[in-house]
Structure 1
Amino acid sequence: MSILIKNAKVIKSDGELIMTDIFIKEGIIQSIGHSSDASVQKVVDAKGRLVTPGLIDVHVHLREPGYEYKETITSGSHAAARGGFTTICAMPNVDPVPDTAEHMKAILDKIKQDACVKVRQYAPITSRLTSDEQTDMAELQKAGAFAYTNDGVGVQSAQTMYLAMQEAARLNASIVAHTEDNSLLFEGVMHEGKKNKELGLPGMSQLTESTQIARDVLLAEATGVHYHVCHVSAKESVRVIREAKKVGIRVTAEVTPHHLLLCEEDIPFDTSLYKMNPPLRGREDQAALLEALKDGTIDLIATDHAPHSDEEKSGSMIGSPFGIVGSETAFSLLYTYLVQPGHLSLQELIEKLTTEPARVFQLTGGHLSVGEPADLACFDLEEETVIKKDGLLSKSSNTPFLNWRVKGRTVFTMVEGEIVYEEDKHE
């Protein structure tokens, strides 16, 4: 099918916004410029709204198999599409864990059947995520895994991580790390700072994160592997990553929207809607993360979309699971509270959600250019809306951002020329 997107506002490489048309045929962008091609079969009027490359999220939890009451591949991919994401990367903390070729193929078959966006599947570094037994990484790669992570669990043994890095380097694959030293946790549920003392809750030191990053970057240097740090939260972690990059270690990093927009001082009371891992840290940490994102120390933004049921997230931080949903709110929140006040340019935001994740993980997409797949998102930057629980397509609504006023809602999302989300059909 041939499609013409008319009256699209696109951002050029120099940051200038221009009005143009985008002509798509057989799922590929054929031209960007005002078109009068007679072969157009469908016209989509963007009405002067922003059209970007489809967003890429390298860190989501789809919960299927095993935890379908929280999220499914169907609901999670539709939530991603509503947020403007066209490629997402799913973490392996499901049941059964995709730690064998058989389990990996089963998940990929389900993804092929149910997902409305492109989904790449992580494999675990170790069997069952929690053991020190290394998975057969070559077999998992052959089965379709694109990178390796024990997200949700820090790899406690340096030897295990070292051997895994050696094998990943041999396979030209990435190690993606949730960095957390369990011996320094002390049963903490939120950041160890001012607010946890005020609320009488056990704290989580930044040392749980930063010390394991320090260990891992030296192991990465020794093995030559590409090492990617998940959801960086602390200024000390930023310092370690910055110094590692200066000496040429192959380390990259991500930050979440919630760590950019919130800190411990924003937690109103003991509520699990603000419980995530790593936790919201101090205001100095929050500032360091934004600075690191701007100067390239942190390469990209990822949501860590982590759905849980209302029952699980209705009480105290003690006893409740970590995590918040983020697929549907990321762009609008970041546009409203970082771009509009001038903390980040629109071009920078789009790059951190498209070009950079594509570069870091060598993924297709991330560019709005001729010859690229027509993975696109259209956003309304003018009309203000309110984030509401009943407006979410995810099966879960565990987020502290409910009732926040935002601009930048998604108008439509397109994967290889096919519209997979359209706001008029979801109102």
Structure 2
Amino acid sequence: MLENKVINIGLAGFGTVGHGLADVIEESRDVIRRRTGSDIRIKSVLIRSDRRRAEVEAIGATPVTDYRALIDDPDIDIVVELTGGIEFPRTLITEALQAGKHAVTANKALLAEDGMRLFALAAEKGVHLGFEASVAGGIPVVRPLRESLAGNSIRKILGILNGTANYILTEMTDKGLDFETALSDAQAKGYAEADPTLDIEGIDTAHKLTLLIRLAFGCNYPFAKLPVTGITVVTPMDIRFAQEFGYRIKLLAQARLVDGKVEAGVYPALVPEDNLLASVNGPFNAIRLEGIAGPVVLHGRGAGDRPTGSAVLADIMAIARHAAPNNLGFVNPVLPEADILDLDDAVSLHYLRFIVPDRAGVLRDIAGVMADRNISIQQVTQKPAVDGGGVPLVFLSHEAKAGDIHSAMREIENMGLTLARTMHFRIL
């Protein structure tokens, strides 16, 4: 337990979020003191080049070049990791916890892939491992799931958890841009990295969903087993057709309990326009949690210096209040492995778009394959021919198993009924 009235921070990483943390600490000193009874001070900052030295000294902190200076300094109470990557943060956090220091991180990749070991170590040492900033930036969801919503017995998670992907899809929808143009625009405006792979391929979203599953369901769904599809498969054609049917395409993270098993995944899906998630546009994030007490929707900026910095500060303030460590919200920090629902058994509505030759009998043949797979059709529409002479056929199904849909798609392609790749999305 911390006894001093000054809480000293050892900070690793002084980029965008590190600066944001320093700013919100400086601007919130009175509130921090009133809420915690302590002053929070960044004592030392790990730097990797001298160009950061003046910036660190400007906030009254000491620049250090060896991470052990953060671990070995007896005056440092909390080690905050904001460097990114996997290997170095793993080493830093592990050694901080082993030394009996509290740790706070925004590193969702590390926690998704190796978090269970780190949480077990934190429990063994009786210290905090805070990670509010790792899931949705400025949107508070970790602590609400762990505490405020603990009595709601969450059964379903549904969210837009990546601002880059959401911005790109918004631009494609509202301005009719193709994917590459929308991506370039996102990069020019600072919403996408030079290498946007983690965002556009759904990996960043999957890291966050892995953490949410642990918090909400109290089980470990291994990140490596999570089905993930990114937004590179989304075309302007399908966005336009979805709009005509009253939907917007969003990259969704979804997890739900089905007869005791966990069904989860990350994928683009059609969201009805009257659903709140359909109106979440640009770089914003939103999370819908459904439990026995009804749904709760959280909405806000999922990234940025001050939103993420404020989430890091919230963890630091919780530690400053001398709260007992409750990192995952369960008495036993060793969570059981999730009983995973086979992807083929997942049931939902489906959107299927085929490009077929303009000849009699094709629609009948495709519909026949679907009927043989117990797929009931809700609506089918034929669109004008596209370049190359093919005709788009769009099917909206009633609830069907994913395995039956995939089987039908394979048979239809094997029969030579299509001229291009079949597009398939779930419908929310």
Find the structure with the greater CA-based Rg: 2
Q: Name the TM-score, length of structure 1 as normaliser.
A: 0.30
Q: Name the TM-score, length of structure 2 as normaliser.
A: 0.30
More helix per residue: 1 or 2?
Answer: 2
